[in-house]
Amino acid sequence: MAFWYIMSGFFDVTHSLMGVVSVGIVMAVNYKLKAHSYFADESDVIKDLRVFYVPYYFLWLLVQIVVSGIQVAKILLTPSLPIQTSVVKFKVNFPNAHCKMILGNSITLTPGTLTVDIEGDEFTVHAISPVSFEGIASDEMPQMVLKLFKAETDQVVYDFRVLHSKEELN
């Protein structure tokens, strides 16, 4: 609400009251939605989040985004355009659905990769080049996500495959 308040430029009583009422309605609706479980393995794992590790993860992810952006820029600026797109499928061993959601979003945030599907423990990711999915294949990115919830980590990625043909995708 503070961001909207600053950006709107309306500081009168009417707009302020409408903002407070809107925020109250959104919070009431979200409270009711939070109480509902949509998936069998869904639980409130926010209490398990290692809060002191979150800034480190965001900083690490920002560096990965910049590095990936430079790699994609090199590919695009090379006259021969060395694009070798591929689809990778892999399974993960995560303790909760929040880890999967964070990993899927982190993959999509890094340039050159896109999380296409998450079905159970299996991820499908499109990559612009083999360099783009190195962090997944090496288990680096999934390990970083797991560290958000657990101090000790095990191998997360298994059954990693690179698919090249339409038959392999199905």
pLDDT in tens, 43-72: 566 677 888 999 999 999 999 999 999 999
Provide the domain limits for residue 15: 2-34
Given this model, what pLDDT does residue 169 score? 62
- What is the rounded distance in angstroms from the CA atom of residue 119 to the CA atom of residue 136? 17
- What is the rounded distance in angstroms from the CA atom of residue 116 to the CA atom of residue 123? 8
Q: Are residues 22 and 95 in the same domain?
A: no
> Is residue 40 one of the residues assigned to a domain?
no
Which whole number is the average pLDDT over 145-158?
89
What is the layout of strands, in order, in the sheet containing 113-119? 113-119, 122-127, 86-92, 157-163
If one counts every other C-beta atom within 10 angstroms of the C-beta of residue 145, the result is 24
Q: Is 2 exposed, middle or buried (0-12, 13-18, 19+ CB in 10 A)?
A: exposed
Which whole number is the average pLDDT over 108-116?
94
38 pLDDT above the threshold of 90: no
Mean pLDDT is highest, among 14-28, 35-49, 54-68, 145-159, for 54-68
Q: Are residues 12 and 87 in the same domain?
A: no
What does DSSP assign to residue 121?
T
- What is the rounded distance in angstroms from the CA atom of residue 72 to the CA atom of residue 111? 7
Given this model, what pLDDT does residue 53 score? 93
Q: Are residues 19 and 59 in the same domain?
A: no
Residue with structure tokens 């989040």?
49
Judge contact between 94 and 100, C-beta under 8 A: yes
Q: Are residues 52 and 131 in the same domain?
A: yes
Residue 107 tokens, joined: 């993959």
